[in-house]
């Protein structure tokens, strides 16, 4: 592995800070895949299919999984609770 690659074999990473709780999360990916998504050439789930759904959502909105889940909580009857 060369110095430009991280331990998982990806060539790029982004550190995302959750605007709600301040958690810093490093998400590793291949630059060409990230650029394909950013340039609108592919949907994120296709371009970065090796990332978990929560990692992809963090790249999209910036929120960590815990904060996103809390803000989008669904009750037992299936209705979302309004946060506010």
| pLDDT of 14 above 90 | yes
Closest to 58 (Cα-Cα) out of 3, 1, 20: 20
Whole-model pTM: value is 0.76
Q: How many domains does the chain have?
A: 1
**Model confidence over 46-79: pLDDT tens digits?**
999 999 999 999 999 999 999 988 888 766 666 5
Whether 59 is covered by a domain: the verdict is: yes
Query: Is 54 within the bounds of a domain?
Result: yes
**Does 57 map to a domain?**
yes
**pLDDT at residue 29, rounded to an integer:** 96
Q: Is residue 39 part of a domain?
A: yes
In a domain, 24, yes or no: yes
Domain that includes residue 16, residue range? 12-71
Q: Which residues pair with 16 in a beta bridge?
A: 25
- Whether residue 22 lies inside any domain: the answer is yes
Q: What is the mean pLDDT of residues 23-34?
A: 96
**Is residue 81 included in any domain, yes or no?**
no
Residue 60 lies in a domain: yes
């Amino acid at each position: 592995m060369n110095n430009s690659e991280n331990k998982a074999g990806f060539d790029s990473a982004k550190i995302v800070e959750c605007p709600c709780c301040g958690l810093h999360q490093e998400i590793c990916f291949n630059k060409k895949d990230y650029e394909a998504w950013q340039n609108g050439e592919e949907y994120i789930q296709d371009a970065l299919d090796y990332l978990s759904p929560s990692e992809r959502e963090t790249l999209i909105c910036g929120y960590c999984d815990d904060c996103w889940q809390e803000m989008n909580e669904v009750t037992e009857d299936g209705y979302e609770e309004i946060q506010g």
